[in-house]
A and B are shown apart, each in its own frame.
Chain A
Amino acid sequence: MLMEGMAYFSSVKPVLLKTDALIFMLLAVIIAFGAYARGKAYLRAPWRKVFSSRTGMVAAVVIVFYGTVALLDSIHMREPLENKGHDGETFYSVEVISLLDLMLGPLKTQVEKTYSAPFATHLYAKETVELPDGSSARLYPRLEYGGAHLEDPQRDKGRDILLRSLSGAGAGLLAWVALGALFIWGMARRARASFSVTLKQILGGRTAIPWHMMLYTAGVFLVLIAVIASLAGHYHIFGTDKVGNDVLYQAIKSIRTALVIGTLTTLVMLPFALLFGIMAGYLRGWVDDVIQYLYTTLNSIPGILLIASAILMLQVYIDTHPDLFETDAARADMRLLFLCIILGVTSWTGLCRLLRGETMKMRAAEFVQAASAFGVRHSRIMSRHLLPNVMHIVLITVVLDFSGLVLAEAILSYVGVGVDPSMHSWGNMINGARLEMARDPMVWWSLLAAFVFMFILVLAANLFSDAVRDAFDPRTLSR
């Protein structure tokens, strides 16, 4: 098993898309910041407050689950093709797949002919089928994969689904108990307490960090994943779309797109907002005038129009230079990255204005006056004395913006200026399903899947951002 895996991974050609690189960079930044914050008491205090918030930590567990999926989906590769070139040279498939695709396995490959409802065993549309006796009839044909193992779907389907979900739930529960016990054992070792004492403390909610809530959330997720895993190989849980692709697979693949837009956009805009905001607030004078002019101008262009114009222009550029991109995935990735940049351009102005105001207030503070009396250079005052003192604003804005950006992606894709149509995203799913509303019976499952996945992520992000704001916003601290 291990050897097979090693052989497989040594045969594929790793692909590092631009957004992959940025995602891993972001992850490194977060880890580095965490290590840095551990050593600073003034940073530890507000974070401890975040960690002690129940809703905040439940939301954090949800976000970690989504983030893990996105990370797995960011390790890309191209599989080698069977037939080699003349001189033994290996060719690689033009299709870029990710680690997540390998894990989802059957979800990606089990493609039906067209629409089918969730848990259906028959196709959505009637087809002319040849019967065994040679005549032909118009009927709903059986699905190729969904419920294909059932002899008589009408009789066996309900029982089969129930049994599979029960066994899945059991497996999930077992995994949760095992992992939870391992976690509590680790905690007990760290605290040098006995297992049963730690167990009682954690389950009774008497710990500083609400571990019991986090464990329960993780349990719900583990059981859900196990149930889905035991069903997904045999049914299409969220049905299939127009060309027969599994909707659940699309919804899961869309997670990465949403997280990329939610996080990379702020990563892209952050350096500009920080530099310009602090410079304008500290240096004042003509620098302030120029920067104010810059962000008023950018702000006065209606955001969606600026995005639309920029994306239209990019599309013209991509279409006239097809030779720049090796694969379709690289092309779609380029558009995703550009979308992040242009969204960043339209959204940095708000943060910049906040930072400018805060820096202006702090400019008169004693510690800045003292630093400049000691002859500290402007650049050093800005980077060492002002920057750390505005980081709470940055953090609050970044976390607050996240959910808005995820929602914006769906709308932009609907307008036709979002991510590439070939890329999986909730916006594209909604856009594709919207046209099928008028069908009877209605094709609702794509919409449902996209909205449910999006709702859980955005709700978690909103709750988490509330916890962060409560902990870091000085205005709420006094209350």
Chain B
Amino acid sequence: MLAYIARRLLYAVPILIGVNLITFMLFFIVNTPDDMARMHLGMKHVTPQAIEKWKAERGYDKPLLYNEEAQGLSTFTDTIFFQKSVRLFAFDFGLSDDGRDIGHDIYQRMWPSLAIAVPILVFGLLTNITVAMLLAFFRATYIDVTGVIMLVALMSISSLFYIIGGQYVIGKLLHLVPISGYDSGMNALKFIVLPVLVALLYGIGSGGRWYRTIFLEEIGKDYVRTARAKGLSERLVLFRHVLKNAMIPILTGVVVLLPLLFMGSLILESFFGIPGLGSYVIDAIQAQDFAIVRSMVFVGSVLYIIGLILTDISYTLVDPRIRLS
């Protein structure tokens, strides 16, 4: 087991190098630092001196990959690639383009992101499983058919509609909770309720439908027939046998998402004004702060790879038939 995890972690290294190369190519070779400087300083009436100054302040004035002027090892270390990209491996994110410490920002903004993402995951699982169980219990009746049609309709509505509608009805008409904003500690609760509700409503459509097919697949299996044959009621069959076995694909499907909870939700956070990592990214995109976007791409890839490893481990934990090799 440990050997397997160690091997998977080693396998992650070339992937992260690949991610790093892709972002490096996107950010520095397709468009040179000169282009970025011009973009930031405004397109017209930019003096070459201003561009040089902007680049020097942010360390973009070095050669890209190979520094001819430097001596010894620093021919490679004193370059943009080493300074800006390789250092990410040590989780040293450096400064953003407007001079803030990115590592500190990420640590600060992680908690509000988690405060919304965790309740969404937990309550989302609960509601989706409940809805799916209900539909599976009434399968092939009119309740099931109408239910599925409603789920399809729910998932055909844009998530933006739920957000804007939720803000308008609950926030503006009913004045139940503030429309947007955030506060520290327990005061955050009233700001969290609305985004979580909106996300739940949006998630029911696809989640409920997906879990319903998982339940129906389980119901078709032989052990269910055995359980019925020995005289168990339909309710007992569903809740004692089917639910337990259906949880295997459901939970292992969730595990890959766990690390990504740290990244937060782009749209929810920016609409509800929550200072998490999602809105951090959106702000960076809109301010064209490439240093932040670069760092977040890297963090996101690391979390995704951790999620993949956790998924493999969770398979062996819930299903003893699978052995890692």
Q: How near does chain B come to A375, taking the closest CB pair, in angstroms?
A: 35
**Bound Cα distance from A447 to B23, whole angstroms:** 36
Chain A residues near B301 (CB-CB < 8 A): 300-302
Asked whether, in the complex, the Cβ of B22 is within 8 Å of the Cβ of A410, the reply is no
Chain B residues near A298 (CB-CB < 8 A): 22
Asked whether, in the complex, the Cβ of B164 is within 8 Å of the Cβ of A434, the reply is yes
Chain B residues near A137 (CB-CB < 8 A): none
Q: How near does chain A come to B223, taking the closest CB pair, in angstroms?
A: 18
Known contacts A302-B300, A312-B285, A462-B156; A437 and B267 CB within 8 A of each other: no
Q: Which of B247-306 touch A at CB < 8 Å? A: 260, 263, 266-267, 270, 281-282, 285-286, 288, 290, 293-294, 296-297, 300-301, 304-305
Chain A residues near B3 (CB-CB < 8 A): none
Q: Is A414 an interface residue (CB 8 A)?
A: yes
Asked whether, in the complex, the Cβ of B285 is within 8 Å of the Cβ of A462, the reply is no
Asked whether, in the complex, the Cβ of B153 is within 8 Å of the Cβ of A309, the reply is no
Chain B residues near A462 (CB-CB < 8 A): 152, 155-156
Q: How near does chain B come to A343, taking the closest CB pair, in angstroms?
A: 15
Asked whether, in the complex, the Cβ of B15 is within 8 Å of the Cβ of A300, the reply is yes
Q: Is A61 an interface residue (CB 8 A)?
A: no
Say whether chain B's binding surface is mostly helix, strand, loop, or mixed: helix
Asked whether, in the complex, the Cβ of B22 is within 8 Å of the Cβ of A415, the reply is no
Which of B32-40, B65-73, B118-126 is the interface stretch? B32-40
Q: How near does chain B come to A473, taking the closest CB pair, in angstroms?
A: 11
Asked whether, in the complex, the Cβ of B164 is within 8 Å of the Cβ of A437, the reply is yes
Known contacts A302-B300, A305-B293, A451-B157; A293 and B285 CB within 8 A of each other: no
Q: A400-423 interface mask toward B, CB cutoff 8 Å, 1 = contact, 0 = none?
A: 000100010011001111000000
**Bound Cα distance from A407 to B156, whole angstroms:** 8
Q: Which residue of B lies closest to A296 (CB)?
A: B15
Known contacts A313-B31, A317-B31; A304 and B156 CB within 8 A of each other: no
Asked whether, in the complex, the Cβ of A410 is within 8 Å of the Cβ of B160, the reply is yes
Chain B residues near A65 (CB-CB < 8 A): none
Asked whether, in the complex, the Cβ of B158 is within 8 Å of the Cβ of A410, the reply is yes
Q: Which residue of A lies closest to B168 (CB)?
A: A437
Chain B residues near A299 (CB-CB < 8 A): 304
Q: Is B76 an interface residue (CB 8 A)?
A: no
Q: Is B19 an interface residue (CB 8 A)?
A: yes
**Bound Cα distance from A304 to B265, whole angstroms:** 11
Chain B residues near A163 (CB-CB < 8 A): none
From A309, A313, A319, A463, contact of B152 by CB (8 A) = A463
Asked whether, in the complex, the Cβ of B36 is within 8 Å of the Cβ of A316, the reply is yes
Chain A residues near B157 (CB-CB < 8 A): 451, 455, 458
Say whether chain A's binding surface is mostly helix, strand, loop, or mixed: helix
Chain B residues near A10 (CB-CB < 8 A): none
Known contacts A293-B14, A415-B266, A416-B286; A458 and B156 CB within 8 A of each other: yes
Chain A residues near B23 (CB-CB < 8 A): 301, 309
Q: Is B27 an interface residue (CB 8 A)?
A: yes
Known contacts A297-B19, A310-B26; A319 and B300 CB within 8 A of each other: no
Chain A residues near B288 (CB-CB < 8 A): 312
Q: Is A63 an interface residue (CB 8 A)?
A: no
Most buried by A among B15, B160, B168, B296: B160
Interface size on B, residues (CB 8 A): 48
Q: How near does chain B come to A432, taking the closest CB pair, in angstroms?
A: 12
Known contacts A301-B22, A305-B293, A316-B31; A293 and B267 CB within 8 A of each other: no
Q: How near does chain B come to A42, taking the closest CB pair, in angstroms?
A: 26
In the complex, the number of residue pairs spanning A and B with C-beta atoms less than 8 Å apart equals 122
Asked whether, in the complex, the Cβ of B39 is within 8 Å of the Cβ of A300, the reply is no
Known contacts A293-B15, A407-B159; A300 and B305 CB within 8 A of each other: yes
Asked whether, in the complex, the Cβ of B18 is within 8 Å of the Cβ of A411, the reply is no
Q: Is B10 an interface residue (CB 8 A)?
A: no
Q: How near does chain A come to B285, taking the closest CB pair, in angstroms?
A: 5
Q: Which of B29-52 touch A at CB < 8 Å? A: 30-31, 35-36, 38-39, 43
Asked whether, in the complex, the Cβ of A300 is within 8 Å of the Cβ of B30, the reply is no
Q: Which residue of A lies closest to B157 (CB)?
A: A455
Q: Is B220 an interface residue (CB 8 A)?
A: yes
Q: How near does chain A come to B135, taking the closest CB pair, in angstroms?
A: 15
Chain B residues near A434 (CB-CB < 8 A): 164
From B18, B27, B155, B297, contact of A313 by CB (8 A) = B27
Q: Is B161 an interface residue (CB 8 A)?
A: yes
Most buried by B among A316, A455, A466: A316
Known contacts A297-B15, A309-B23; A437 and B167 CB within 8 A of each other: yes
Q: Which of A297-335 touch B at CB < 8 Å? A: 297-302, 304-306, 308-310, 312-313, 316-317, 319-320
Closest 7 pairs (CB-CB, A-B): A297-B18, A302-B300, A459-B156, A300-B301, A458-B156, A300-B304, A316-B31
A-B contact pairs, 25 of them (CB 8 A): A297-B22, A301-B301, A302-B297, A305-B293, A305-B297, A305-B300, A308-B281, A309-B290, A312-B288, A312-B293, A313-B26, A313-B30, A316-B31, A319-B39, A319-B43, A416-B286, A417-B285, A430-B160, A447-B164, A451-B161, A455-B156, A455-B157, A458-B156, A458-B158, A466-B152
Given contacts A296-B15, A302-B301, A320-B31, 12 further A-B contacts (CB under 8 A): A297-B15, A300-B15, A308-B293, A309-B27, A310-B26, A317-B35, A411-B160, A414-B267, A415-B282, A451-B160, A455-B156, A455-B161
